[in-house]
Structure formats: C-alpha cells, structure tokens
Amino acid sequence: MTDESKTPMSDGLPEPVIRHRRVNASLIWLVPIVAALVGLSLVIHAWMQQGPTIAITFQTAEGLDPGKTVVKYKNVVIGKVSTIRLNSDRRKVVVNVDLDKTAAGIAVADSRFWVVRPRIGLGGVSGIDTLLSGSFIGVDVGNSKQKQTDFAGLETPPSVTHDAEGKSFILHSGDLGSLDIGSPVYFRRLQVGRVASYKLNDDGKGVTLQVFVERPYDKFVTTDSRFWNASGVDVSLGADGLKLNTQSLATVLAGGVAFLDAPGPHPTAEVAPQDAVFTLFDTQAHAMAPPDGEPHYIRMRFDQPLRGLAVDAPVEFLGMNIGSVVSIRMDYDEKTGHFPIYVGAVVYPDRLGRAHQKLMAQARSQGDDDDMSHLIGTLVAHGLRAQAKVGNLLTGQLFISLDFLKNAPKATYDPSVRPLEIPTAPGNFDKLQEQLAEIVDKIRKIPFDSIGNNLNQTLVSLNKTLNQVNNQVLPQFQDTLKGANQTLGTANNAFSPDSPLQQNLGSTLQELQRMARSLRTLTDYLGTHPSSLIRGRSADAPPAADTGSSTTKPQQGSKP
Amino acid sequence: MNAMPRAHELGLIGCHVCGLVCRDTQVPDAACPRCGASLHRRKPDSCARTWALLIAAFILYIPANVLPIMRTVSLGSVDDNTILSGVMELWVKGSPDLAVIVFTASIVVPMMKFLVMGTLLLSVHRGSHWARAQRARLYRLVEFIGYWSMLDVFVVSLLTALVQFGFFSAVEPLPGVVYFGLTVVLTMLASMNFDPRLIWDGKDEDD
Ligand SMILES: [Zn+2]
C-alpha cells in the first residue's frame, strides 16, 4: 500500500499511512494493579497466618536460635522463635515465639513447653534426631480454655502429656528412694505408667508423688491396690534369711513403682478414681501386709548380751510379726552394777487382726482405756514375756519374741509407765548352753568301754579270716592269673604286625582294592558306551585333534 | 534561533524500524509507508507506561525483600534466607566480597533504578531543562545495568540445580525469588518504555 508516487510532496518525502491501533495504552495500568493485588493478597495471607505471640521463660537459650528454632507439636511445625532476650533480672531467658494461626489454641494456661535436645537417661535415649537438625521447642497442649501468653518453660520433657490417656494417682511416701520423674510404674512386671512428678511435703515429713497409669491399665488400680517402691535391688538380710527381689533390670538402674491388689478377695474394691491417694510402701512385703493401724511404742529390758539384735529386727507375737525394733540402748544399773540393755520397738496391734479387736472389746467392757496398757498387764499376768531368740542360726540374727511362758517367774508390770515396758525372760540364746550341757551329758552316758571290747573281739576274728585268705586263696589266684597271661600272649602274637594273619589280611585288602578299581573302570566305560553291552567293545577312537595340538605346542615352545 | 533544528521543527518523522523519513502529517495512528511500523515522534504514552511498570516493580520489590528467597538444608537444619539476611550471612561468614556483590546487584541496583527512573519521569513531567546531558547519561546507565540485577535469581537457580544431596545438603527456591525476578523484569520494561528523547523536548536555553 505504498503510495509514494500518489502523494508527491514538494520536498519529495513520503507521507505516512493510517493504520488503526488495537491496544489501548491505558491497559498498562493493569500491571501495577495486579502487582498491588498480589502484594495485598500476600499481606492478607500473612495476617491470616499470624497467630499469637507467646513468651516462654527458660533457664538457658542453649540450642535456640532466633528465626530458626521452631516449635513442634506432634512433629508438626506450629511456630518459630522470633527473638530471645534476657529477663529483667538476667536470671533467665525469655524466648518469644510466633505461633501459627492454626496453632492459636495452644496458647492456653496449662500448656507446657520444653526444649527438645538429645538426652541420655537410664530409661533410654531421646531426641537423637536433634543432634543434626538442632534443638526445637516441644509443646504439650493443655486442656484449659483460659488464654495465656507467658509461660515458664520446663527444663526436662514432661513424662506425662495431656493427650496421654489414663489416670494419675497420688502416692505418699516417707522418702523418694531412687525414684525420679519418668521412673516406670509396673503392674505384674509390665510397665503401665510413669512417675509424673514429686514434691516434698510442706512439713518436710514425706514426699508426695504423682504417678500416671496409662489406659487400659488404669482400670487395674482399685481402691484396694497397694503401691510399693520397686527401686533397685531389694536385698534384705534379716531373721528370715537373705532375700533378693527386683521388678526388672531397668528398675535396678532407674528405680520404679509397682502396684498390685492386696491378696485375698476384694468384695468392695472399685476402680480407683482420678487422683486417688495411696501410700507408697518401701517393699512389696510391707505393701501386702494388712493395714498396720496405730503404732504403739514398747520397751523391754534385757539383762543379757544381745549380740545379733539389730534395729529393724522383727518383733513377733506367737510367731506373728507385729512390729520391729527401733532402738537398742545400754544402761547402767547402779544397784546391781549390771549393764541392762533397753530395746525399744514399735508394734502394730492391728496386725493381730480379730484377736486384737476381741481383746480390745473385752478390755473396754472392763473399763480399760484405749491405750492397751491394762490389756498388756493381763497378758503379762498370764505369762507374756519378751525374749531375744535366734532367728537365723547361720548369721546369728536375733529377733524379739513375745510368748506366753509356762512357769514364768513373777514379773512387775506398771501400766502407768510410758512407754509400756514388757518384762523379759532369758531367751533361748542362753538356753543353748544348757542344751549343749545336756548333749554332753548324754554323750557321757554312752558305754564306750563295752563298745570297745566288743569291737576288739570282732577285729580278732577278722584277722583270722584274713590270714586264711592270705595262705590258701591267694596262691591259687596267682596260678589262674598266670594262665590268663599266657593266653593273652598268644593272642598278642597272632595280631602282631609281622604275623602271617596280619599279612594275609593286608594282601586280601589290596586284592579287594584292585577289584574295586577295575569295577569302576567297567562301570565308567559302560556309562559312556552303553551299547557295548550288546555289540562288544569298539576300537579305541583316535585322540581329538585339538587336544593333541594343545599338548604338543608348549613342548615345541619349550624345546629351544 | 541558533539552536540545532529538530525533526518536528522540520516537519519530519522517522521510522524506528526501517529508518524511512516521512513527512510529519500530525495524524494519529500513522504508519510507515514502507514497513508498516507505527510512526510516532515520541513513544506513545511513554510516561504512563513507565510509571505503571515502575510502580508495579516497586510493589513487587517489597515481597521480594521481605519473603525468603532461598532455603538451605544442611544436615537436617533448615535455613531460610531473605536477600538481606543472605547478604548479612555472607558478610558474617567471611566472604565480604561476595556480600558486597550480592548487595550491589540485589539492593543497590534496583533501588538506583527506581530513583533514576522516578527522577527522569518527574523531570520530564515538569519539562525541566536541568542537566539534560547528565540525565541522558543516567538513563543509558540504567539501560546498561538493567539485566545485571538478575544476579540473585541466577545464584538461586544455579544453587538449586547444583546442590541437591537430599538430607545432607539441598537448596530450594522460595517465593521471594519469583517476586525479585518480576521486579527486575518490570524495571527493565519500564526503562525500555521510557523515551529518552523526552528529556530533550522543550526549547533549548543554551548549549
Ligand atoms: Zn519503516
């Protein structure tokens, strides 16, 4: 469509043509609008994602890195550490965490935070993955509805998390033993839970533990369950002998708690409710014993050495263990110049069961007070005495035995003395000597003289018999032995290496060997030429050409 | 009038494509009679286009700097870096030369482009006569350095392609790098759409 010639101008320049343009130039403004929309969407997105910011206090910021350390719940990243600073008194660090919008519900009052680091404990190794990837903050989401933004971080991971199903129980104990947070709880030697926390009682007279038992094992904790400390190796050397008891090898190292229903039927036992309170006994034996009831302190005066009596030695009443020795003190009696030994013991009359109840009822009906002093008075009048007896002959351990003695010498008993003093009688430890004397007496009565005479006569006749044997029987026996010797010599010759029998045997075997060889050749041949059975043996084939050349070649080469 | 004559004063218009000189008939939508390319004395809507693209580039420059551009995974530890944090990391970890290069290419150059283009556009709007030659030189500088600011994008794409050792070491691009690339492209387009002859429009005062 050039029209250079059609529109000739004065200066001879061509004139432009008209062509309609398609694009409206103002559309270019769409570009910044789109950019602005994208920017806006990013801002909105970020704002929507923005959850609450929480502050967690830790002892140290070890392993934490602002902008990098993440907060994980069930291994899902739900937030990131934004800044770390010291708190106002510079004792702790405050870690600010930006939580995701989706994780906003985590910031509630009873949520707990801790730093997941590699930890090696007796229970095992945890957080090993953080060795390479760096630490992160773990969280246990609470159930509370109350919002909170400031948290005190835990220094160790909680042993029980909120999402764990089960029940926790409170245990009271005299001391912690070797238990720790996370120590296992065993039921029939099966681990069913953990120690969640412990604290010293406010009065300092004991420890309160919280244990957590997982579902479905929590239903085995009943109102009649007994808990005991299964820590370490339970070695007890007492009057009962040596006892060694452990729950598992792990408890030997890390300690643990075990529980079981008390033996016997439990018609009233129910599943224990959440936070039910139990006593944590020292040993399984203590735990399984019937409830002890009120302890009573008694004292006994012994006028004999008590070597082998130790604190914790049992106190038995007619063979029932009703308490233990708590103190052994020496005293000096100015009047007699003796050194009596006062043994203090704690007894639990409730261990006597119905006997105690009946005795108490009887005593009360007679107008006695609650303190069983008159009751004991009655028993003493009937011959109740305390004795130190040998419980274990090997170790010489003593225990205190309260028994009714026949012909007991009259004893003074003052029911008003506190603690109650129970009269004693010399124990069988002393009687041992008497018994020994009796044994010696009996031995003395044995008629050793006549026994010796009889023995002498017997020996004389035995001597005679032996002489006879020597003179008559032995020569004959010698002849027999000689004959036997000759026979053996002949047999020996027959089997000597150069004997004809031996040589014949050798050649026969060689013959047999040859025969076997030719038989093998025959079978080999038949194997390769079965037809020769019918047609007879064919002429030998000439050796193959290639084998011939391969064998000759090296010979040629080696000649020069 | 001793100034040098201009094409429009002589009533002439040149084709940008084939170089044909036509008579300037002042009609809209004129096209070159020889090659058919549109004929215009100045690029049409040059200022508006440049403004639009420059503003768009500036908007996108914000997420480009705020969002992380690169994720480095080494031995399981994840590290997201924005442009500035990357520069700081390079500086701290003992390669200040690299830090300076990246800083220049990713921060200085784009900012300079925004400033220069903005200044040029404003001065053109006002028909200013101030330092025309220097402004023209500035424009040429912006045109020249335009593509060099893609350095960050190249670095990220190179690293992503080269460093892929799974758990031990890996580099992933993150959205920030897309915004940065868009910013660079848009600033280049903006400077392309700017017509430097606009600087010289208006009457010459002196030479
Ligand atoms: Zn043309």
Give, for all 207 residues of chain B, the pLDDT tens digit. 456 777 777 888 888 888 888 888 777 778 888 888 888 877 778 888 899 999 999 999 998 988 888 888 877 677 788 888 888 888 998 888 888 988 888 888 889 889 999 998 998 888 777 888 888 898 988 888 876 778 778 888 888 888 877 767 888 888 888 999 999 999 988 888 888 888 887 666 544
Q: What's the Cα-to-Cα distance from A408 to each of A340, A387, A389, A403, A426, rounded to whole Å?
A: 20, 12, 16, 10, 10
Interface check for A174 against chain B (CB to CB < 8 A): the answer is no
**Angle formed by the axes of helices B175-193 and B46-66, nearest 10°:** 160
State the Cα torsion A70-A73-A79-A84 to the nearest 10°.
-50
Residue B204 C-beta-side C-alpha neighbours within 13 Å: 11
Distance (Å, whole) CA A157 – CA A117: 9
* pLDDT higher than threshold 80 for residue A537: no
Pairing of strands A241-245, A397-404: unpaired
Helix (H, G, I), strand (E, B) or coil at A198: strand
| Contact indicator for A161, A111 with CB cutoff of 8 Å | no
Residue B46 Cα, ligand 1 centroid: separation in angstroms?
20
**pLDDT average, residue stretch A90-114:** 88
Contact call for residues A281 and A287 (beta carbons, < 8 A): yes
Rounded to whole angstroms, the Cα distance separating A373 from A418 reads: 9
Is residue A251 predicted with pLDDT exceeding 90? no
C-alpha to C-alpha distance for A187 and A209, rounded to whole angstroms = 17
Q: What is the rounded CA–CA span in Å between residue A311 and residue A317?
A: 18
More confident site: A50 or A369: A50
Query: Residue A413's pLDDT is what?
Result: 79
Contact residues, chain B to chain A, C-beta under 8 Å: 12-13, 20-23, 25, 27, 29-34, 36, 38-39, 44-45, 48-49, 52-53, 55-57, 59-60, 62-63, 67, 75-79, 85, 182, 186
Q: What is the pLDDT of residues A485-530, one digit of tens each?
A: 888 888 777 777 677 777 888 888 999 999 999 988 888 888 888 7
* A chain contacts of residue B63, beta-carbon cutoff 8 Å: 38-39, 42
User: What is the arithmetic mean of pLDDT over A428-450?
Assistant: 76
Range with the poorest average pLDDT among A126-140, A425-439, A489-503, A505-519: A425-439
**A101 CA to middle of ligand 1, Å?**
60
Q: Do B31 and A18 form a contact (C-beta atoms < 8 A)?
A: yes
Phi, psi (5° rounding) for residue A325? -75, 135
Q: Are A260 and A226 in contact (CB under 8 A)?
A: yes
Determine the pLDDT at residue A84: 92
Q: Are A19 and B36 an interchain contact pair (Cβ–Cβ within 8 Å)?
A: yes
Comparing alpha-carbon positions, the chain B residue that sits nearest to A65 is: B79
Which residues have CB under 8 Å from A350's CB, separation 6+? A290, A291, A292, A293, A294, A356
Distances (CA, A) of A126 to A93, A123, A211, A254, A300: 24, 9, 21, 16, 56
Residue A227, amino acid:
F
Residue A547 has pLDDT above 50, yes or no: no
Per the DSSP assignment, residues forming a β-bridge with A71 are A79, A137
Alpha-carbon gap: B206 to the closest alpha carbon of chain A (Å): 30
The first and second tokens of residue A348, run together, are 């639990």
Worst-scoring range by mean pLDDT, A4-13, A551-560, B184-193? A551-560
Query: Residue type at A233?
Result: V
The stretch A528-552 carries a mean pLDDT of 61
Q: Are strands A190-200 and A184-187 parallel, antiparallel or unpaired?
A: antiparallel
∠ Cα A495 A498 A499 (to 5°): 50
Mean per-residue pLDDT of chain A: 80
pLDDT score recorded for residue A237:
66
Phi, psi of B151 (to 5 degrees): -50, -45
The radius of gyration of chain A's CA atoms, rounded to the nearest angstrom, is 51
Share of chain A above pLDDT 90, in %: 5
From CA A37, how far away is CA A46, in angstroms rounded? 14
**A233 has a pLDDT exceeding 70:** no
d(CA A423, CA A426): 10
Burial class (CB in 10 A: 0-12, 13-18, 19+), A513: exposed
Q: Terminal CA-to-CA distance of chain A, rounded, Å?
A: 101
Q: What is the mean pLDDT of residues A475-494?
A: 84
Q: What is the pTM of this model?
A: 0.52
A38: which chain B residues are within 8 Å (Cβ-Cβ)? 59-60, 63
Residues in chain B: 207
- DSSP E strand stretches across A380-481: 384-392, 397-404, 420-422
Residues 6+ apart with CB under 8 A from B58: B114, B183
Tokens representing A5?
Answer: 């010639």
Closest Cα partner for B39 from B16, B18, B23?
B16
Provide, as residue numbers in chain B, all residues whose Cβ is less than 8 Å from the Cβ of A18.
Answer: 27, 29-31
Q: How far is the CA of B16 from the centre of ligand 1 (A)?
A: 7
Contact state of B31 with A35 under an 8 Å Cβ cutoff? no
Average pLDDT over residues A305-313: 83
User: Which pLDDT score, from 0 to 100, does residue A240 have?
Assistant: 66
pLDDT band at A555 (very low <50, low <70, confident <90, very high): very low
CA pseudo-torsion sign A63, A65, A70, A71: positive
**Burial readout A161-188 (b: 16 or more C-beta within 10 A, e: otherwise):** eeebebbbbebebeebbbbbbbbbbbbe
How do strand A119-121 and strand A17-18 relate by DSSP bridges? unpaired
Asked whether the beta carbons of A54 and A149 are under 8 A apart, the reply is yes
What the block records as the tokens of B54 is: 């420059």
Residues A188-231 have pLDDT tens digits of 888 888 888 888 988 888 899 988 998 888 888 888 888 888 76
Which residue do the tokens 């903050």 mark?
A: A137
Q: Is the peptide bond before A216 cis (omega within 30 degrees of 0)?
A: yes
Asked if pLDDT for residue A553 goes beyond 60, the answer is no
Q: Would you place residue A370 in the very low, low, confident or very high pLDDT band (cuts 50, 70, 90)?
A: low
How far, in Å, CA of B119 to CA of A84, rounded? 42
Q: What is the pLDDT of residue A23?
A: 62
Structure tokens at A292: 């002890």
CB A14 within 8 A of CB B30: no
Kindly give the distance from the C-alpha atom of residue A20 to the centroid of ligand 1, in angstroms, as a whole number.
16
Cα A70 from Cα A66, distance rounded (Å): 9
- So what's the pLDDT on residue A467? 87
Indicate the residue of B39, B48, B59 with minimum beta-carbon distance to A16: B39
Which strands make up the sheet holding B77-81, listed edge to edge? Answer: B77-81, B70-74, B169-173
Lowest mean pLDDT among A235-244, A436-445, B55-64: A235-244
Distance CA B194, CA A28 (A): 13
In the predicted structure, residue A94 carries a pLDDT above the cut 90 = yes
**Where is A552: in which H helix or E strand?**
helix A545-558
- Proportion of chain A above pLDDT 70, given as a percent: 83
Closest by Cα among B205, B10, B12 to B127: B205
Candidate ranges A52-56, A430-434, A499-503, B165-169; pick with highest mean pLDDT: A52-56
**Residue A405 to residue A359: CA distance in whole angstroms:** 19
Give residue A266's identity as a one-letter amino acid code. Answer: H
